[in-house]
Structure formats: C-alpha cells, structure tokens
Structure 1
Amino acid sequence: MEAEPDPRARRRDEPAEAGGFADLISSPFRLDRDRIAASPFFARLGGVTQVVSAGGSGLLHNRLTHSLKVAQVARAIAERITAHGDTGGIVAKLGGCDPDVAEAAALGHDLGHPPFGHLGEQVLDRIARHRYGLPDGFEGNAQTFRIVTKTEVGGPTPQGLNLTAAVRAALLKYPWARLHYPDPHPADLSTPPRGAAEPDDAPGTGSAKFSAYSTELDDLEHSRTPFSGRVERWQQTVEASVMDLADDIAYAIHDIQDFHRIGVLQHAAVATELGQWLSRAGELAELPSAALRDEHRNPGRSLEYVRRRMHAKDAWVVDDDAFAHAVARVRAELVDDLLAIPFDGSIEAEQAMATFSARWTARLVEGVLVTPSPPTRTGHVTLRPAQWHEVQVLKFVHRRFVLQRPDLALHQRGQASMLTNLVDALDAWLTDRDEARRLPRRLHDLVALAHLEYTALAERSPELLVGATGEPVRGSDAVRALARGRAVVDFVASLTDRQAASMLDAISGHATQPWSESFVL
C-alpha cells in the first residue's frame, strides 16, 4: 500500500493525489532550497544593503551573505531541536521541523528586501500607500512571499517557484495581512503578536509588520492548511520560528562585527554607555521617563530606556537581574575583549573576530527552547532568558551606536530621495502613451499581472481593496491605478542598490552612455 502523501510537501500547481514529488531526486524540501538559491532574486541580494552600502569593499555584509549566515544558524537550530527527545515530540505535534525547510526559509527570508535595506522599505511603503492608495502598502516580508508565489518567473511554473506548503509557511514570519486577514485580526488580541500592532505614529494603517498582501491570501491559506489545529492562525510554524530566531541571532552578532571592522563601533562610547548603566542602575531607575528622552545622550540613559521598554513590551520574559547580567557579559566579551583593540586587518584581529562570532553563535544556539504554548509575543522556538536578554543588549549596541549616527542618516536621506525620484520617473513613463510600447518588458509584464490580480479582487473581494480611509475602489480606472502602483513598486523593489542608482541616472538624463541590464530591462 502506498504511503499517504505528506500534506506539508504539496505544491500549489500539482494535484494533491500526485504527492507533488514527480521531479524530485531526494527531498521535496531540499529541492525548494535549491530553487531559492538558483533564483535571480537570491543572486541580487549580493547588491542589496544590509545596513549601509558595502561600496565594493567586501568588508560589510550584504543581504546575500547575511542570508547565508542565517541559513547556517537556522539549520543548526532545527537539527538541535529535532534530535533531542524532549523537544522532538513537541515539535512533531506542532507540525514538524525539517532542517531543509528551515534552511530554505532562511535563504529566502530577505528576497523581498528593496534597494537600500530597511530605508528602502519605508520609502516604498509610504509611496505605495500615499501615492497609489494601496491599502497593503509595501512590506519586505510580504514582498518575499509575493516573489516566491507570483513574480519570480524563472521557476518550474509560469508564476512563482511552486514551493511546498511547508517552505511557504516557513517564510511567513508574520502570518497575517496588514488589515483584513485573518478575522479576528491578531492586532485585536489583548497582547498582539510581535509586529501585529499598528505603529504608534501611524494609527489606522494596520499592522506594522505582515507577510502577505491581499493578492497572495489564497497562497497563504494553502500553505497553512497542513498546520491547521496544530498552531494558531496568527502563530508562526515551528520552522518559521526557527528562521525568525536565526535571523535575530545573525543580526545581533554579524552586524556588530561589520562596524567594528570598519572602525565605526568605537570602544570608548560603548564602554561608557554600558559601564555607566552598570554603576548607576539604581539611580537611573529612579529618573522620570521625560529625563531619559530629553537627556538620552547622557551615558546610561539610552540603555535604561531600553530596559523600561522591555518591561512594557515583553513582560513574559524580562527580568532585571538577567538584564544586568547580560549587560555585564556584553561589556566583558564585546567591549573589553573585542572593541578594546582597533581592527587593523592583522591575523590577531581576524582571529579575535572569528572567536567572538563562534563563541556567541554557539552560546545563543545552545540557549534555544521549544515551548508548546508560548506567549503571543514570541514563537514556539525561543531563547532561554539569559540569552534572550543578551540578544536585546547586542541589538541595542548596534541600534544606538550605528543606526542612530548622523552620517548614516545623511546617507539614507539621499537614498530615500533617489528611490522617490525613480518611482516618479517610472510612473511618468507608464502614463506616457507615446512611450508605452518602449517600456521595460518586465515592468510591462508586472503591470499585466497586477491588473489581473486587482480586477479579480475588485470583483470577488472588494473589501480587501479598502484601506484606512474606508473609501471603496470603484471603476476600471481605479483598478488600473492600483495595478500600476503595485507594478512600479514590484519593479523598483527588485533592483539592487547600484541598479536603482544607475537607472535613475539613465532615465533622468545624467548618464552619458546607454544603459541596459537584462534582469532590469
């Protein structure tokens, strides 16, 4: 008797009774991993900013090298939690955790990141919502899901990579839509999942983070079907939780290394902030919140603000003793051991960097826990309190001493202007009837795809096209405008940093030579 097909291995475009593995050599999930790695969307990540543009130096992580390291960590976590008898049974009841699925999701988790990283994400979201009236706006995670299900055309099917349900579900870090799905929406929970609540500064816009646009809700539902009754509709699958945690670990360690390597992360500033908090924790705890905001440049105050924010957001795990121990450990192992000696490219400096990375990665992976019924703010796979607090402190160091630098802000303001101008130029080209026949072919195809999608939504589920304003979308012109907006955003989001800059130069008349790249034009 033939075994029942694994529902986790089903693909959208193959009948369920065929099991979906006719073309497979070994594992359907390993094939998914290979399909993602072979995608041009994966290759382009080598030219997409992680935090700041690498500028060809090879010294800084880009989205490609970051994704490879997340994949390493994700596989290590998946193998660890499935090999241990005390966690393996829990994982099986929750729907399973295949290391190939976790690795595939980790490789693919950043496919949707636009040029210039999170800065580009913010700019395209603002343009999508305010200029084009797209209720979904733009979100990197939702763009990833759109790529693997729709806009990648080099796979085995006309649209998307035809991945298994398990891998698609593992890519859903935030398994809900911005506004309308599921019902009830996780934003309405008494304690919303991380990312589900609205941004404090943008009420009425929907969830701050989400993993599917309205155009991909059918794919979301299909991918989650094998996990029905195992995890809540708003919860990550175990493999998605593994990918999410691995992303956090890689981010906390490797971005800090980058900025030590190029001399941005300075020993004195970090040592003073952490040291002042450790020596004056009691005094700082008595300060009013206004003093922390107004005097945030005074050493120790920024870290105290983070401690209080953790109490407000993550009461399920935060502990003041664990936080103090984490600050002390980071002070000893990052500040006193690594940052105390400026990076000079010597063998000694490289070995110190490698030792720091290996020690911290091992420590954090060893701190992984599987929780059958986790709080809403975390997934089924999380960290022990000690390691969880250490990750928060490492991320604080990166945010406070890298992301908040004025020179980075200056650089990013220029990039934001560049993306806005590129969208303006492409939109003008699209609406120029005399030039419509000479559009980049890929942009033309994206417009056609989006028009089919939004026409179908307007007929079948018009409520999905209504944003915070509550104004319904009526008429073919309104549908075409939405489709044009989504297509332009899809097109710009698929560029590398350099492609975006070069295309703007060309389309604005600043380039001296004709410019062409096959992936773009």
Structure 2
Amino acid sequence: MAKDEDPRARRRDGTVDTVAMAGGFSDLAASPYRRDRDRIAGSPFFARLGGVTQVVSAAGAGLLHNRLTHSLKVAQVARAIAERIEGNEYDRAVVEPLGGCDPDVAEAAALAHDLGHPPFGHLGERVLDRIARHRYGLADGFEGNAQSYRIITTTDVRGPSAVGLDLTAAVRAAVLKYPWLRLHYPDPHPAGMRIPPRGAAEPADAPGTGSSKFSAYSTELADLRRAREPFAGTVEGWQQTVEASVMDTADDIAYAIHDLQDFHRIGVLQHAPVAAELTRWATGMAEFAELDPGRLAAESRRPGYSLEWLRRRLHAKDGWIVDDEAFIQAVATVRTELVDELLAAPFDGSIEAEQALATFSARWTSRLVNGVLVTASPSTRSGHVLLGAAQWHEVQVLKFVHRRFVLLRPDLALHQRGQASLLSTLVDALDAWLVDRDEVSRLPRRLHDLVELAHAEYSALAEDEPELLVGATGEPVRGADEVHALARGRAVVDFVSSLTDKQAVSLLDAVSGRVAQPWSESFVL
C-alpha cells in the first residue's frame, strides 16, 4: 500500500495527511505521526500539565513530578519500547499484522495520554465524575482518559479546522487505552465478558454505573469509530492497538518508579514501616496464607497483612499471570533494592543522595523496559505488549508500596478533602453564574463557547443516536430543556477540568469575592 493510501495516516477530517497549517503555523516534520507529536507538544493543554498534580499538589512542590514531567517520562519509555519492537525481527513480525508499531505514534500517544487530567489529579477526577453524574445527570460522568480524547478531537482548537488537533487515526487510536464507552459501545460491551479487560468491569461499590475506565464519551463515539477503522479485523473491538499497549505499559513503568522517588526525596517514604511490611510477610507467608479474609481486613494496619491482601487480590483478578514464586521473588527484590539500598539512608540533598536516586531510577527503568514482551494472543487482561512475569510482579509490589505508604496516609487524605471541597464549590459557583439571567452575558468567553459546543453535540445526538442520550439513571433524555441541562453540565466540567491546580484555587477566590484586586488571568483552554 502506498504511503498516501495508508489508512492509519488518515486524519480526523477524513483527508490523508498532507503538510498543513496547525495552530497558525506550518507543520515542520515530514512524518505524519511526528507532526501529531509536535501538535500535541505545542498544545496549551499539554503545557498546563506542569501545574497539575501527580500525587500531591504541583504548587510549591519543588522537584516533585507533575503531570507534565510524568508525561515526558512516559513518552521517553514508550519510544524506547517501540524502537526495541521495531528493531527485533520476531517482535516486528508479530505486530505488523496487528497494525504495526511506529515509535512516533507511541510517543505521541504517551504525550497525550494525560491531557484530560483535571486539577488535583485522580482526586479531581473522582470529584468531577461524581458531580457530572449526580448533579448534571451525565451518564458518561467524567473520566481522565475520555477527557484526553475529547481534547485532542474536540475541545482543543489548534488544528487546521479549529476542532481538535486533527490527528491521524493511528495516534488517536493509540490514545484509546480503554477503547470503549462507559455504557453503550461496543455491543456486546466488554464489561460483560467472562474475564473483562482491565478497567472494563463496573466498580464493585457502584453497580449499574458502567465501566470504571473508558476512553471516550458518547459525544466522541463517531470519532472513536473512525480512529479504529484501520484496525478492523486486526485487533478485537475491545483490544488496544499495539501502540496503545506500548503507551499503557510505559505509563505503568514510569508510575511505578518516579512516585517512589518523589516521596523518598521529601521524606514521606520511610525505611522502617516499608521494611517491616515486606519482611514480616516474607518471614510469615505460610501463616498469612491461613488467615481468613475477615481477620486479614481487620488487621490491615499491622505489618504483612496488607501485602497478603495484595497477593490474594492478584490471584482473583490476574490468574493469567500471577505466580506465588514470582511474587515472593518480587518482594525480595523490592526489599533489597528499594528498602535496603535506597530507603536505608534518608534523602539529604547531597550529591551522594541524588546519585543513589538516579541510579535506582535508571536501573529499574532499564530492568522493566528490557522485560517487555510481545505476544500475538494476549489475555483479555493484557495488551499485545506487556511486561514479563518477573517484571509484572515487581511493578505490582512497587505500586503496593506507593499505595500503602503514601496514598493511604491520613495527612494526604486531609489535604485531599480540602481539594475536593474546593472543586465542588467552584462548580457550584460557575453553575450559578450560568443560570443567572442578569449575569450570563458576562460569562468567561471560553465557558460560553463550551456551552455552545456541548449544546450542538447533544442536540445532534438527540436527533441521530437518541439511544446514546440517557441520564445517569438510564432514563432517555427528552426535550430541549433536558438536552440543554446536559450541555451545561458538560461545559462546566470541561471548563473546570482544563484548569491547573493554582488556577482552580485562584478562580474560586475571585468568584467568591475573597480577593480585592481585579481578576486578570484569561482562561483560554
């Protein structure tokens, strides 16, 4: 197939890629996928990630990672994995019938994968999802991955047609980490599979709400279908493309390593409690294996109990790969290299401490990237590109350490409760402005435009695919007023999710009258 006939290079507007004007300047790269990478890197949605929380607020966090530095590291790892696949004759032969693996596509998808993360990271994601479903009746709710896809296809205006970034099908498909909608697509929905793909199952505590993870809203369904067209017959409808699988694996690798670095650097991740957890489980694994679930849950704060809970959870969810011997070895490896080597000496800012941190990061990144495998027939719980068994277990243990000794800390919970309250209050204030007939004409221009955009989208759905237009309770949405209410909710969520942490705080202060000086910052996202 000639290059100009490559369906993967077809852009959102339906044209095969040509050198085009994007965001007011000509694309500079020759490769259509490199042009996509440049468009994403030049987007202000990408720049704003420097002010968005990774785990703790980016504001005043010194050398801690934010969503921008995280995305850059994921892109670095994704490109390394893709180049290894392209450079290996066997791996290349496996992926070519599946649509191929272009390093530029994988890198572009990695840069774009977190564009939709709202202020305050995953905490903000949960708050906005709850608001979208419960306050506005949006069955799609809010999901960071779906918001990323909405940005690159709809709400960013830097593409030639001012609707999204006009990216190629290959890159758009590679951003679809979870290539389904929350409820409606595809049919049958992957949530109903005997072993659902990772993220497709409903949350245990929220039955009837649809998949816990998904990569597009109903408003972007037509675009999702077009992006996936070149891969029809090569990967299953619910499967990631190879390049999406590369991006997903790279995200896991980066996340498992750099958050541990951050919290060692600021003294949160302490040697003693982590060592006690891993050592107690390793020396008493037979004893823990005999405990009933109730006892395990009741004693979860005692050393060793939470790690045993992880082992059982992996058996329940990932029987396709979990192995007790590999888990034991992973615990031993993490205990040696993270606990006994890195955490043994508190970080004091010295050259020696910085070198130890850099060595830890480089060694683990290399180990995990070198452990990446390619398979033609993956489990439903995995993509075609995945970590080998040893590395997969090591990542699970590293993530456990992060969750157990960082995310579950009461002081972080206290901080996050305040952030959740801030976002809810900000949504209330903006919504009140939207329904104030005397003041609606003075809305921030970006919010006004987002309302018009969402109204056009939901009106089109009501006319063309009304089965997709349902409220959070599953009831059909009928009538202009109900359609407008959905549009208002989506617009407010789009607007708030596009703020940085600092902008969210400052905007609430301004709209609540807590600052005396005139408001001067433009919200152009």
Matched, 1:387 2:391: yes
Matched, 1:341 2:345: yes
Aligned mates of 1:317, 1:380 — CA distance in 2? 14
Alignment-derived partner of residue 114 in structure 2: 110
Alignment-derived partner of residue 20 in structure 1: 17
Matched to 1:335, the amino acid is V
Q: Secondary structure at the match of 1:353?
A: helix
Change (3 A) 1:2 1:335: closer
Aligned mates of 1:55, 1:165 — CA distance in 2? 36
Matched, 1:304 2:308: yes
Picking from 435, 439, 443, the partner of 1:431 is: 435
Written as runs of structure 1 = structure 2, the 5 A alignment for 1:257-276 is 257-276=261-280
Aligned mates of 2:519, 2:270 — CA distance in 1? 41
Deviations 1:336-387 (A, max 9, x none): 0000000000000000000000000000000000010101011110011000
Displacement after TM superposition at 1:2 (Å): 6.3
Picking from 31, 36, 52, the partner of 2:35 is: 31
Aligned mates of 1:520, 1:502 — CA distance in 2? 15
Aligned mates of 1:3, 1:465 — CA distance in 2? 39
Matched to 1:330, the amino acid is V
Alignment-derived partner of residue 11 in structure 1: 11
Displacement after TM superposition at 1:209 (Å): 0.3
Matched to 1:327, the amino acid is V
Change (3 A) 1:511 1:79: same
Contact 1:245 1:382 in 2 (8 A): yes
Q: Secondary structure at the match of 1:483?
A: helix
% identical equivalent positions:
76
Contact 1:59 1:262 in 2 (8 A): no
Alignment-derived partner of residue 507 in structure 1: 511
Contact 1:205 1:467 in 2 (8 A): no
Q: Secondary structure at the match of 1:66?
A: helix
Written as runs of structure 1 = structure 2, the 5 A alignment for 1:192-207 is 192-207=196-211
Matched to 2:205, the amino acid is D
Q: Structure 1: where are the runs of 5+ without partners?
A: none
Matched to 2:104, the amino acid is D
Q: Secondary structure at the match of 2:321?
A: coil
Q: Secondary structure at the match of 2:373?
A: strand
Matched to 1:519, the amino acid is F
Contact 1:113 1:493 in 2 (8 A): yes
Deviations 1:148-174 (A, max 9, x none): 000001232211000000000000000
Q: CA RMSD in A?
A: 1.1
Matched to 1:340, the amino acid is A
Alignment-derived partner of residue 221 in structure 1: 225
Alignment-derived partner of residue 124 in structure 1: 128
Deviations 1:220-253 (A, max 9, x none): 0000001010000000000000000000000000
Matched, 1:141 2:145: yes
Deviations 1:17-62 (A, max 9, x none): xx32243641000000000000000000000000001332422100
Aligned mates of 2:518, 2:136 — CA distance in 1? 30
Aligned mates of 1:248, 1:416 — CA distance in 2? 26
Alignment-derived partner of residue 183 in structure 1: 187
Q: Secondary structure at the match of 2:164?
A: coil
Q: Structure 2: where are the runs of 5+ without partners?
A: 21-26
Q: TM-score, normalised by structure 1?
A: 0.98
Matched to 2:11, the amino acid is R
Contact 1:466 1:472 in 2 (8 A): yes
Matched to 1:426, the amino acid is L
Matched, 1:243 2:240: no
Deviations 1:278-322 (A, max 9, x none): 100010010001111111011000000000000000000000000
Q: Secondary structure at the match of 1:369?
A: strand
Aligned mates of 1:204, 1:50 — CA distance in 2? 29
Alignment-derived partner of residue 98 in structure 1: 102
Displacement after TM superposition at 1:406 (Å): 0.2
Contact 1:277 1:301 in 2 (8 A): yes
Deviations 1:400-426 (A, max 9, x none): 000000000000000000000000000
Deviations 1:463-482 (A, max 9, x none): 11224523211110000000
Matched to 2:365, the amino acid is T
Contact 1:204 1:468 in 2 (8 A): no
Alignment-derived partner of residue 232 in structure 1: 236
Displacement after TM superposition at 1:461 (Å): 1.2
Q: Secondary structure at the match of 2:17?
A: coil
Deviations 1:72-126 (A, max 9, x none): 0000000011110111101111100100000000011000000000000000000
* Alignment: residue pair count: 518
Q: Secondary structure at the match of 1:148?
A: helix
Q: Secondary structure at the match of 1:434?
A: coil
Contact 2:444 2:523 in 1 (8 A): no
Picking from 420, 426, 435, the partner of 2:424 is: 420
Matched, 1:286 2:283: no
Contact 2:314 2:322 in 1 (8 A): yes
Picking from 163, 176, 183, the partner of 1:159 is: 163
Written as runs of structure 1 = structure 2, the 5 A alignment for 1:310-349 is 310-349=314-353
Q: Secondary structure at the match of 1:206?
A: coil
Displacement after TM superposition at 1:519 (Å): 3.1
Displacement after TM superposition at 1:4 (Å): 4.9
Change (3 A) 1:3 1:463: closer
Displacement after TM superposition at 1:520 (Å): 4.5
Contact 1:492 1:500 in 2 (8 A): yes
Deviations 1:415-471 (A, max 9, x none): 000000000000000000111110000000000000000001111111112245232
Q: Secondary structure at the match of 2:302?
A: coil
Alignment-derived partner of residue 24 in structure 2: none
